[in-house]
Amino acid sequence: MYDVIVIGAGAAGLMAAATAAHAGRSVLLLEKMEKAGRKIRITGKGRCNLTNARPAEEFAAHVRTNADFFSVAFAEFNNRATIRLFERLGVKLDIERGERVFPRSGKAWDIANALVDYCTEEGVRIEYNTRVTEILTLAGKVYGVNYVNRRGFQRKEECDNVIIATGGVSYPATGSTGDGYMFADALGHTVEPVRPSLTPLRTSHPQREYLNGLLLKNVGVKLYIDNELRCEEFGELGFSERGIEGAVALRVSRDAVDALIEERHVKLVVDLKPALDADTLRERIRREMADMRPDEFFAELLRKLVPRNMVVPLAKEVDFHSKSYISKLTDTEIERLIKILKGMVFPIVDYAPFEYAVVTAGGVNCDEVNRYTMESTKVKGVYFAGEVLDIDANTGGYNLQIAFSTGRLAGQLKK
């Protein structure tokens, strides 16, 4: 009989298992996939932005949901503690722009492998290809789990403490398929509606196909909901078959997704030249035109202002053919060009599904979890950690820190 069973070998589960084992408890870690940390291994485009080094108050400002609840776990094991732990585990780290922390190797596998090695060294028994089917309770207390082992046989393991760290439903190919929500519901917990967060946004812009593969740097983006400004961001914006993405789009996607679910009108307004006001931009365009021959095309002027992929879409927006001579460009069309450069509108009509979402918004209601222990207030001996909880944050290393902090606190098994 084990002291602790941890369900899910992701960031939160590995941290919880290692923490409990380090404290001298016998730990069984059950993972339904063939290896641990599959989501960690692909996060940050394979580089793994494992935390953010901002001071506590600035860090908290990037936690979108239940920041007060999370503050206790963060105080127990914060971003600095995470950095120290991985350096102690032999992973060299670098702090990059925006205080984002990455392994110096640029390999997310180093973070995942370090956590697995940490568990192994502390004596955690890890069983792969093992799917938990039920959490067993009696008189308001947990006493074990039912599971299907790698050979397909039904088994039962009794235990007084179970940590649910099954993740959300984002990137389901990594094993995050919402099992924890089903367990929580069966235990009497409220599960807040789940939806994609940090996910690409889909536009109905008529020239969207021209933009595939385009990455815009240093642009300003405003999110409008029902024509009211919701938020502003600055940074990178990308376009792909998945939709509008990049750090800026992901940061505004949480509000956009909620608004779309409520069937509200959503649009992004992109300032392609945020460093120039309209007057300065007008002078720039006049100067560029003065240096061009009258028989040069409008496309050549646009190439001096925007990336190649944007030439045709921008010409269509201005309603002046890209192969028309600049000598025929009127003041009205120049003003239209300036207006579009300072505020190109992308109607948002949908969002990418969980397959492309970085994290899941929604989850187990935090009012039903003890913030000082991560223990369920419904069933004694059941703990929650990581993305299964209704906590999510902006992109930039914050969500993995949520997993590490809550996993660490759950693994302490405080009563």
Give the chain's radius of gyration (CA, Å).
Answer: 25
Res. 264: pLDDT tops 90: yes
Over 80: is that where the pLDDT of 415 sits? no
Supply 189's token pair: 């917990």
Would you tell me how many other CB atoms lie within 10 Å of the CB of residue 195?
19
**70-116 pLDDT per residue, tens:** 999 999 999 999 999 999 999 999 999 999 999 999 999 999 999 99
Residue type, 242: R
Any residues with CB less than 8 A from the CB of 342 and at least 6 apart, and which? 271, 272, 273, 278, 281
Rounded Cα distance between 403 and 411, Å, is 12
Instruction: Please choose, from the candidates 360, 8, 382, 363, the residue with its C-alpha nearest in 3D space to the C-alpha of residue 196.
Output: 360
- What is the domain partition of the chain in residue ranges? 4-196+358-411, 200-352
Count helices and strands (H / E) in the chain: 13, 19
DSSP assignment letter at 247: H
Averaged pLDDT for residues 204-216: 94
pLDDT for residue 315? 95
| pLDDT higher than 90, residue 5 | yes
Between the alpha carbon of residue 361 and those of residues 258, 389, 391, 392, the distances in Å are: 10, 9, 7, 6
Asked whether the predicted pLDDT for residue 137 surpasses 90, the reply is yes
Superfamily name and number for 4-196+358-411: FAD/NAD(P)-binding domain (3.50.50.60)
Give dist(CA 231, CA 266) in Å, integer: 12
H-helix or E-strand spanning residue 111: helix 108-121
Q: How far apart are CA 373 and CA 319, in angstroms?
A: 61
pTM value surpassing 0.95:
no
pLDDT tier, 176 (very low <50, low <70, confident <90, very high otherwise): confident
Q: How far apart are CA 89 and CA 82, in angstroms?
A: 11
Quickly state the pLDDT bin for 38 (edges 50, 70, 90): very high
- Tell me the Ramachandran region of residue 91: left when phi exceeds 0, alpha when psi lies from -120 to 50, beta otherwise: beta
Residue 248 confidence class, pLDDT cut points 50, 70, 90: very high
pLDDT at 172: 87
pLDDT value at position 44? 87
CB 14 within 8 A of CB 33: no
C-alpha dist (Å) from residue 83 to 56, 77, 95, 111, 276 = 14, 10, 10, 11, 39
Which tokens is 185 given? 């519901």
List, for residues 378-408, the tens digit of each pLDDT value: 999 999 999 999 999 999 999 999 999 999 9
| pLDDT value at 171 more than 90 | no
Share of the chain above pLDDT 90, in %: 97
pLDDT tens per residue across span 320-360: 999 999 999 999 999 999 999 999 999 999 999 999 999 99
pLDDT at residue number 173: 84
pLDDT at 162: 98
For 191-211, what is the mean pLDDT? 95
